[in-house]
Structure 1
Amino acid sequence: MYLSLLYTCISVYTFSCRDEKQFRMSTRQEEVTISSFCAPQKKFVFIKTHKTGTCTVINIFQRYALYNKLKVLMPVSQGLLSWPFPPEEADYIHMPDEKYDALMHHFVYNKTWLLTKFPSEIPYITILREPFRHLKSQMNYYHLPMLLGIEDSKDAVKNFLEDPWKYRNKSEVFFNHVNVTWDGTRNPLTFDLGWPAEKADNQEEASAYITQLDKEFTLVMILRYLDESIVLLRRLMCWEVKDVVYYSRIENRRHYPYKRYEATLEELDNHRRWSAVDYMLYDTFNKSLWRKIATQVMVLLFMLSFFSSFADTAKFLHLQ
């Protein structure tokens, strides 16, 4: 659907070889104009969701923070600022003035708390992954087949999706010390963005919550369209291309028996009903991303080509 939208946009703006030079010049001019009328964003909140490619994306934010000497709200314990528990003052390293420029660690989204640490007008950014692929990654990383009592084989996902409700009592994990329930198979993306696992069946309230998230987040990237997302990020933040070049780390390309498993339509339907809030979340922000793309498709196409060449060069240099 979205590719056809992109192709339609391309066809509308089809130009001849004679016009290509003029197009490229005007596109470059627009980039110069944008840079002239905006200042680089040096304050931001990036909510690092789980198993969504954030180990790749966070390098962009870490590098920018390092080069620009930003004051990052850092966790006391490595990696986890506030997850799966609500934020507490003892969880992070305090600055003398309690003023921070950036957040980029695992953190259960809590806008009320964040407003006590950051200005209200800064960009809020996160990234999501298609829920079925996310489930497979979750099951591998957290060893969920063992938790569910399913053989960890190529059929693990298939066996689970035949009847997810059968495993409900096994898939939920309760953290006694913070009174929080987490389910690695059911709405884990929305959990990272502040939606309680106990409200998995309350879709009406969940829909209202996602609508609110859509107002609060400036950009929600989609892993499947990472290059497009990064180009939009660059334009949103008014950063230079060099600031957003990334290298996908080979060590993160894990292999497991069911990684390539393609679910049947019935299994996908079961998963969509089981993890309905995550699908609602993903569908909302996938559409939002493509609306943003559609409004600036020609500039985006040019920048994607330029960005891809830049990234390929960076990858080559990294491997030397």
Structure 2
Amino acid sequence: MRKTTNFTFIIFSFTFCCLKRSQTLRINLHSEDNHCQPRNSIVLAKTHKTGGSTLGTIIARYGYGRNLTFALPSTGFILGYQTFSQEILLRQPTDEGFNVLVNHVPFHRANMEKVMKPTDQYVTILREPVSLREIKAIEEELDLVLIADYFDKSLLLLKKMMCWKFEDIMFIKKKQRRNVSREPTRIEQANAIRK
């Protein structure tokens, strides 16, 4: 007989993941939640060198498998480094808006809301939130912040928030960086300067 383990993740601004209003999620690791409907609209605010490509692939695979609509760049593979606006998209959204945005683009929620479905969930992934002040600003804009160092656990939170299945969050790591050439984090740099 398989033992069921329940975990409760209470999210504070300084722990591994951030949810709006410090939500509590109960996650049963051995069963699916059959009481919720999958959410099919998501915006990934990609960040560099944090696992954003892997997370983007998971979200894109989910969207392609369900024939969802994507906000795509008019040229190339990235939306660019200018402020997000409708003008940089390949096509304009329908009245309902797009389901998925996973391309590299500076985050601007107000402009993104103009082209995305109103039910979109806004997520990102960070390596290490540096300061409590930064996390508070992020919490106001995003529905979920995944932490790269806790990627698997963060994916469980994403699964729960989106009412997805385990097969929806399965992945193969991409662009994995070796620690030997790792640059110091901002916290390590700050500690070195203090010494």
Change (3 A) 1:122 1:210: same
Distance in structure 2 (CA, Å) of the matches to 1:271 and 1:69: 51
The one-letter code matched in structure 1 to 2:191 is D
Change in Cα spacing, 1:269 to 1:235, as seen in structure 2 (3 Å) is: same
Q: What are the within-5 Å matches in structure 2 for residues 9-158 of structure 1?
A: 23-24=3-4, 31-32=31-32, 34-35=33-34, 37-83=35-81, 85-95=82-92, 97=94, 99-130=97-128
Which structure exhibits the higher relative contact order, with contacts defined as CA atoms closer than 8 Å and separated by 6 or more residues?
Answer: 2
| Cα distance change, pair 214–87 in 1 and its aligned pair in 2 (3 A) | same
Amino acid in the other structure paired with 2:181 = K
Distance in 2 between residues matched to 1:220 and 1:266, nearest whole Å: 22
> Among 170, 178, 182, which residue is 1:245 paired with?
170
TM-score for both structures, normalised by structure 2: 0.72
Gaps of 5+ in 2: 7-26
Give the corresponding residue for 1:296: none
**For the structure 1 residues 271 and 57, does the alpha-carbon distance in structure 2 shift closer, same or farther, using more than 3 Å as the test?**
farther
Deviations 1:270-294 (A, max 9, x none): 579xxxxxxxxxxxxxxxxxxxxxx
Amino acid at match of 1:24: T
Name 2:13's counterpart in structure 1.
none
Counterpart Cα distance in 2 of 1:25 and 1:124: 29
Query: Identity percentage over the alignment?
Result: 26
Number of equivalences: 172
Aligned to 2:146: 221
1:245 aligned partner, one-letter code: M
| Contact 2:46–2:104, Cα closer than 8 Å, also in 1 | yes
Distance 2:86 2:29 in 1: 47
The question of 1:269 aligning with 2:194 is answered no
